[in-house]
């Protein structure tokens, strides 16, 4: 196989050229007339390389594995969390219609939002040219719940039952005011696509807990409307490709083509893959392109997923009680509820990062109705997930995160009436919550002003949130780095502080 | 001190350490030739001795002159310098004398029995060694040579180690080690670069030839801090090129010392306003971890890779929870021993005994674990989180688990335990959560169960 081995294609990529320059066994022996001298020198240069293909036993591989396992020096400290489920509410849920209760607004209905509150902020093109910015109090009613007396609006009746397990962050702040950059920022730490997502960093840093399933899985609710999501949000960026999130389809068949075609028993597939692996190994030896290795590991993963995925996505052995808990949508594959239930199963099987996306939180108009219908789809399953994880003891080492890419404005976008208003994007203050491993249960951190417009106490920036998240996994965000194009990158770039007050 | 020495003199003076090795080489070589010629009775060897001695003498003279020039910089301790200076001169003179004896310009035929040649050379080697030693002391400090002497170590009067950061002395425990590590090699009693020594409070207060180095209360005005914050390429940057610069943490500590404790030498951390970042740095420096006692990590013996590999071969997944700590999470992996025999399971668990102290998280869910098996597990005394859900275990197992006093959470979901175990849970002092959904414990059993000082019992929701 591969007889044109000596005719190397010269790479355009700089790293690959570097590899090509390295002394290679064949070239070395060919070009050196003194074979013995060359051998002796070769031994000095590194016997592994000289005899790479002759001495192909496992010991060198073992050394490499150990090296790879230790190279990052992780975890830096004792982790609190083993796995995470991130319930991403895409579009920007309205914080003052859900959790950030602002009673003083009721009396200010329709009044102009004071310039002192806006503070010269540049608004979006959608409401920036409005002649008036009338204050729109929430049309929802708020009550306090649980021992922690947390405020929740009547849009989320189920979640109000579990507030004592939640840790609200009311002073979230982001840098981005538009969807795509803001979601990208939230998921990758940078507003431009191309950086690794949180899940990829965790997969890269901590590895897999179950070789039969991907470490990082993405589930998107079906029939999502609103701003589109893109694969870069769960992409690996410059990290090795095997760390990218694997998106399961939202439907009956989460992964296509797992079952064997008709009249094929699949018995020789292992044999075929082994041969393919040999071929690919030859290519790796020649070019050292990490993408070949990624491809090899993905073939292996796909092979294992043929048995592991049907097993984990089969919800038929769940008792009716569980389906009732997650709501009737949970029987309809691809819905948010069904995804929550499947997420729990994936987490049970040792998937480290399950990323859910639910679109449609972008209430520029008809905000009360929009928030209500969004909540109806997500409230019960979210609360059920918390309960279900808790009763199984999984909340002990599972981190649950709920939140969108930004918040919404207190002033109405478009016409304001008693029953109806719209809200524009607002990056300066919004609410997120976490629950489970290592975060304080029944706790509220941070405060906004009376307009839910500016953070007046304990702001938490997206970078701080990322730093804290990594901290819970035993990672010092300043030390998990990857060198790319001549510099070392982090999830938090050059920012971020761990918010210690949120931790148990 | 006046700085009237012309630059050219200082420039040439710095060549002293370079040139100084020539006479050492020449003279020792002459000595060796002399010895060899006697042992081998080979008179041919002796012909080179006069030349070696002559060159040794000349180069020693040059080294002396350059050395004198270097001494004019005033960076060195007078006493130590004196000895080196005079021994250097003696070496030079002796080299010429030995040369003259060898070429018989000085005739000592009356003293033939004393063998003047070998005597002069031996003396020369001794003197040059002493000179070299003094010179070394000047450059590297007098404790440089024997600092790492393996035996008979003279213990420095060390401050007692502290267990609590508050008791630490800001200078003694935090600042002094930094100075010792990064500054003292050039700023000590024998080698006072820039006229500055940092060995004790007196010398630090007296400063260097450009004046004091500390302005108590203001780090930004203190020369000590200014110098380390300069652009590293500046010629005034400290430590000079080639030496390890101070880290940001070290600079933070020194700044904190000058600003918050007014550069006091006996002040304790407790009496000084200490920001949180300093607490963190200082705790790391002193090897203290500021964590609550229940979560403090046990120190355990290191476990070899091979042992871990052999355990993994049994189907366990072993993950190190803190890098290089040998503290592990152990999970009995999927697809291993689904409905295996009891003996197999028992054998497998016994395989864990060599690392029983190293396991702090253990997960054995849905593996057919019995009460007998739990007996083995109860020997893993460092366990903090234990998952035994979906196993046929009973109240007896919980009784065994009382051995695990460090446990903070236990998962017994879908097991056969009953309300009897509730009382047993409260015997585990650190236990915070017990998960008992789908057991024989029902909501009504929890009535009257006080939740103060007892673990939280989690049932179905």
Q: What is the mean pLDDT of chain B?
A: 84
Residue B336 sits in a domain whose CATH number is 3.80.10.10
Give which of B297, B300, B322, B361 to mutate to test A binding, by max A Cβ within 10 Å: B322
- Classified as helix, coil or strand, A229 is coil
Q: Does residue A113 share a domain with residue A154? A: yes
Q: Does residue B195 share a domain with residue B322? A: no
Q: Does residue B318 share a domain with residue B270? A: no
What are the DSSP E strand ranges found in A90-155?
142-145, 150-153
Is the residue at A139 inside a domain?
A: yes
Is the residue at B73 inside a domain?
A: yes
Q: What is the pLDDT of residue A144?
A: 96
Q: Does residue B445 share a domain with residue B309? A: yes
- Segment B224-241 shows an average pLDDT of 85
Q: Does residue B172 share a domain with residue B262? A: yes
- Classified as helix, coil or strand, B427 is coil
Q: What is the pLDDT of residue B368?
A: 87
Using a CB-CB cut-off of 8 Å, the residues of chain B touching A210 are: 334
- Segment B98-107 shows an average pLDDT of 84
Domain that includes residue A58, residue range: 23-70
d(CA A334, nearest CA chain B) in Å: 25
Q: What is the pLDDT of residue B54?
A: 93
| Percentage of residues of chain B with pLDDT beyond 90 | 29
End-to-end Cα, chain B, rounded Å: 83
Confidence check: pLDDT of A352 > 60: yes
Q: Does residue A239 share a domain with residue A102? A: yes
For the stretch A459-487, pLDDT in tens is 999 999 999 999 999 999 999 999 898 88
- Segment B279-283 shows an average pLDDT of 82
Which one is predicted more confidently, B41 or B197?
A: B197
Q: Does residue A31 share a domain with residue A127? A: no
Q: What is the pLDDT of residue B292?
A: 43
Tell if the CB–CB gap between B327 and A387 is shorter than 8 Å: no
Nearest by CB to A387, from B297, B322, B461: name it.
B461
Tell if the CB–CB gap between B437 and A77 is shorter than 8 Å: no
For the stretch B376-396, pLDDT in tens is 999 999 999 999 999 999 999
Q: How many Å apart are CA A19 and CA A12, to the nearest integer?
A: 12
Q: Does residue B311 share a domain with residue B257? A: no
Using a CB-CB cut-off of 8 Å, the residues of chain B touching A390 are: 458, 461
Q: Does residue A100 share a domain with residue A62? A: no
Between A and B, how many CB-CB pairs are < 8 A?
60
Tokens for A79? 């982790």
In 3D space, the residue among B301, B333, B385 whose CA is nearest the CA of residue A79 turns out to be B385
Name the pLDDT band for B210 (thresholds 50, 70, 90): confident
Tell whether A22 lies on the interface with B, counting CB pairs under 8 A. Answer: no
Q: Does residue A163 share a domain with residue A59? A: no
Q: Does residue A152 share a domain with residue A42? A: no
Q: What's the number of domains chain A is made of? A: 2
Q: Does residue A132 share a domain with residue A48? A: no
**What number of H helices and E strands is found in chain B?**
16, 7
What are the DSSP E strand ranges found in B132-271?
none
Give which of A396, A435, A472 to mutate to test B binding, by max B Cβ within 10 Å: A396
Using a CB-CB cut-off of 8 Å, the residues of chain A touching B335 are: 212
Tell if the CB–CB gap between A209 and B458 is shorter than 8 Å: no
Q: Does residue A323 share a domain with residue A187? A: yes
The total of other beta-carbon atoms located within 10 Å of residue A17's CB is: 11
Nearest by CB to B323, from A75, A387, A393: name it.
A75
Q: Does residue A364 share a domain with residue A220? A: yes
Name the pLDDT band for A25 (thresholds 50, 70, 90): low
**What is the Cβ-side half-sphere exposure of residue A221, based on CA atoms within 13 angstroms?**
26
Q: How many Å apart are CA B54 and CA A500, to the nearest integer?
A: 74
Q: What is the pLDDT of residue B376?
A: 92
Nearest by CB to B389, from A73, A209, A393: name it.
A393
Q: What is the pLDDT of residue A78?
A: 92
Is the residue at A14 inside a domain?
A: no
Q: Radius of gyration (Cα) for chain B, nearest Å?
A: 36
Domain that includes residue B405, residue range: 305-458
Is the residue at A126 inside a domain?
A: yes
Q: What is the mean pLDDT of chain A?
A: 88
Complex ipTM more than 0.85, yes or no: no
Q: What is the pLDDT of residue A56?
A: 42
Q: Does residue A231 share a domain with residue A112? A: yes
Q: Does residue B363 share a domain with residue B267? A: no
Using a CB-CB cut-off of 8 Å, the residues of chain A touching B312 are: none
Tell whether A397 lies on the interface with B, counting CB pairs under 8 A. Answer: yes
For the stretch B61-85, pLDDT in tens is 999 999 999 888 877 877 778 889 9
How many residues are given for chain A? Answer: 504
Q: Does residue B422 share a domain with residue B385? A: yes
Residues 6+ apart with CB under 8 A from B366: B389, B390, B391
Q: Which letter does DSSP use for residue B287 in this model?
A: T
Confidence check: pLDDT of A1 > 60: no
Lowest mean pLDDT among A363-367, B151-155, B244-248: B151-155
d(CA B275, nearest CA chain A) in Å: 15
Is the residue at B157 inside a domain?
A: no
Is the residue at A277 inside a domain?
A: no
Nearest by CB to B458, from A73, A349, A393: name it.
A393
Q: Does residue B440 share a domain with residue B381? A: yes
Is the residue at B295 inside a domain?
A: no
Pairing of strands A398-403, A83-89: parallel
Q: What's the number of domains chain B is made of? A: 3
- Classified as helix, coil or strand, A173 is strand
Confidence check: pLDDT of A264 > 90: no
Tell if the CB–CB gap between B385 and A397 is shorter than 8 Å: yes
Is the residue at A31 inside a domain?
A: yes
For the stretch A291-342, pLDDT in tens is 898 899 889 999 999 889 988 888 888 999 999 999 999 999 999 999 999 9
Q: Does residue B207 share a domain with residue B252? A: yes
Q: Does residue A174 share a domain with residue A42? A: no
Tokens for B377? 């597990």
Q: Does residue B209 share a domain with residue B176? A: yes
Is the residue at B422 inside a domain?
A: yes
Q: Radius of gyration (Cα) for chain A, nearest Å?
A: 26
Is the residue at A285 inside a domain?
A: no
Tell whether B313 lies on the interface with A, counting CB pairs under 8 A. Answer: no
Q: Does residue A464 share a domain with residue A341? A: yes
Chain B from 380 to 439: CB within 8 A of any A CB: 385, 387, 389, 409, 411, 413, 433, 435, 437
Tell whether B321 lies on the interface with A, counting CB pairs under 8 A. Answer: yes
For the stretch A54-113, pLDDT in tens is 344 445 555 555 555 555 788 999 999 999 999 999 999 999 999 999 999 999 999 999
Is the residue at B437 inside a domain?
A: yes
Name the pLDDT band for B293 (thresholds 50, 70, 90): very low
Name the pLDDT band for A18 (thresholds 50, 70, 90): low
Q: Does residue B310 share a domain with residue B176? A: no
Q: Which letter does DSSP use for residue A112 in this model?
A: B
Is the residue at B297 inside a domain?
A: no
Tell if the CB–CB gap between A396 and B409 is shorter than 8 Å: yes
Whose structure tokens read 């049994």?
Answer: B314
Name the pLDDT band for A446 (thresholds 50, 70, 90): very high
């Amino acid at each position: 196989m591969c007889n044109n081995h000596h005719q190397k294609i010269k790479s355009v990529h700089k790293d690959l050229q570097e590899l090509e320059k390295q002394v290679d066994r064949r070239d070395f022996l060919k070009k050196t007339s003194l074979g013995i001298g060359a051998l002796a020198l070769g031994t000095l240069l590194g016997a592994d390389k000289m005899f790479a293909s002759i001495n192909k036993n496992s010991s060198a591989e073992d050394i490499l594995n150990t090296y790879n396992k230790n190279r990052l020096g992780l975890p830096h400290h004792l982790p609190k969390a083993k796995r995470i489920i991130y319930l991403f509410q895409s579009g920007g849920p309205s914080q003052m219609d859900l959790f950030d209760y602002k009673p003083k607004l009721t009396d200010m209905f329709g009044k102009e939002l004071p310039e002192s509150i806006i503070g010269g902020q540049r608004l979006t093109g959608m409401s920036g040219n409005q002649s008036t910015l009338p204050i729109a109090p929430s049309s929802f009613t708020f009550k306090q719940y649980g021992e922690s007396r947390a405020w929740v609006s009547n849009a989320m009746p189920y979640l109000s039952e579990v507030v004592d397990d939640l840790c609200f962050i009311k002073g979230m702040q982001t840098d981005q005011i538009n969807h795509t950059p803001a979601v990208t920022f939230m998921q990758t730490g940078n507003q431009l696509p191309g950086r690794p997502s949180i899940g990829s960093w965790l997969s890269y840093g901590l590895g897999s807990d179950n070789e039969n399933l991907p470490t990082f899985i993405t589930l998107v609710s079906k029939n999502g409307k609103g701003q589109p999501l893109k694969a870069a949000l769960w992409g690996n960026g410059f990290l090795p490709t095997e760390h990218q999130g694997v998106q399961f389809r939202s439907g009956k068949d989460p992964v296509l083509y797992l079952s064997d075609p008709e009249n094929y028993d699949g018995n020789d597939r292992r044999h075929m893959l082994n041969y393919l692996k040999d071929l690919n190994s030859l290519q790796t030896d020649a070019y050292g392109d990490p993408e070949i290795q990624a491809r090899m590991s993905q073939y292996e993963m796909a092979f294992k997923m043929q048995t592991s995925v049907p097993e984990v996505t089969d919800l038929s052995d769940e008792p009716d009680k569980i389906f009732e808990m997650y709501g009737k949508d949970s029987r309809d594959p691809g819905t948010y509820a069904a995804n929550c239930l499947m997420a729990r199963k994936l987490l049970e099987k040792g998937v480290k990062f399950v990323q859910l996306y639910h679109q449609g939180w972008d209430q520029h108009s008809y905000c009360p109705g929009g928030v209500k219908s969004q909540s109806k789809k997500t409230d019960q399953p979210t609360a059920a997930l918390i309960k279900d994880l808790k009763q199984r003891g999984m909340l002990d080492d599972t981190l649950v995160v709920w939140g969108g890419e930004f918040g919404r404005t207190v002033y109405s976008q478009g016409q304001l009436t008693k029953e109806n208003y719209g809200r524009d994007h607002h990056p300066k203050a919004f609410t997120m919550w976490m629950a489970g491993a290592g975060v304080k249960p029944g706790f509220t951190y941070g405060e906004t002003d009376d307009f839910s417009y500016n953070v007046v106490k304990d702001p938490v920036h997206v970078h701080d949130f990322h730093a804290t998240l990594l901290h819970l996994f035993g990672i010092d965000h300043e030390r998990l780095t990857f060198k790319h194009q001549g510099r070392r990158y982090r999830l938090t770039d050059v920012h971020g502080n761990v918010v210690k007050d949120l931790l148990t | 001190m006046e700085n009237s020495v012309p630059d050219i003199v200082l420039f040439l003076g710095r060549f002293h350490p370079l040139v100084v090795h020539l006479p050492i080489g020449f003279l020792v070589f002459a000595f060796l030739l002399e010895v060899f010629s006697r042992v081998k009775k080979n008179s041919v060897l002796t012909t080179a001795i006069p030349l070696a001695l002559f060159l040794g003498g000349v180069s020693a003279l040059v080294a002396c002159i350059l050395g004198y020039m270097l001494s004019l910089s005033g960076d060195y301790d007078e006493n130590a310098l004196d000895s080196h200076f005079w021994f250097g001169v003696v070496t030079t003179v002796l080299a010429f004398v030995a040369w003259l004896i060898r070429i018989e310009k000085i005739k000592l035929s009356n003293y033939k029995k004393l063998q003047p040649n070998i005597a002069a050379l031996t003396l020369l080697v001794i003197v040059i060694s002493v000179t070299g030693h003094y010179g070394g002391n000047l450059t590297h400090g007098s404790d440089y040579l024997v600092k790492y002497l393996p035996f008979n170590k003279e213990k420095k009067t060390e401050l007692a180690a502290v267990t609590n950061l508050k008791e630490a002395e800001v200078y003694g425990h935090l600042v002094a080690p930094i100075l010792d590590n990064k500054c003292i090699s050039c700023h000590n009693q024998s080698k006072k670069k820039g006229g500055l020594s940092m060995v004790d409070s007196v010398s630090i207060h007296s400063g260097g030839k450009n004046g004091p180095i500390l302005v108590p209360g203001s780090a930004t005005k203190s020369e000590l801090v200014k110098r380390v914050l300069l652009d590293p390429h500046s010629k005034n940057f400290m430590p000079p090129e080639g030496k390890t610069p101070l880290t940001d943490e070290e600079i933070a500590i020194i700044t904190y010392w000058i600003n918050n404790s007014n550069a006091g030498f006996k002040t304790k951390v407790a009496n000084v306003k200490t920001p949180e970042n300093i607490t963190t740095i200082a705790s790391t420096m002193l090897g203290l971890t500021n964590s609550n006692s229940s979560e403090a990590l046990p120190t355990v013996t290191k476990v070899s890779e091979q042992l871990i590999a052999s355990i993994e071969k049994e189907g366990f997944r072993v993950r190190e929870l803190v890098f290089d700590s040998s503290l592990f999470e152990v999970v009995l992996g999927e697809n291993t021993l689904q409905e295996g025999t009891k003996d197999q399971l028992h054998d497998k668990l016994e395989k864990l005994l060599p690392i029983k102290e190293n396991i702090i998280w253990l997960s054995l869910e849905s593996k057919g674990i019995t009460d007998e098996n739990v007996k083995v597990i109860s020997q893993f005394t460092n366990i903090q989180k234990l998952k035994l859900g979906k196993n046929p275990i009973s109240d007896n197992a919980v009784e065994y688990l009382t051995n695990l006093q460090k446990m903070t959470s236990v998962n017994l979901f879908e097991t056969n335990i009953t309300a009897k175990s509730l009382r047993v849970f409260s015997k585990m002092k650190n236990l915070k959560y017990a998960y008992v959904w789908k057991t024989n414990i029902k909501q009504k059993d929890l009535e009257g169960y006080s939740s103060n000082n007892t673990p939280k019992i989690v049932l179905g929701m």
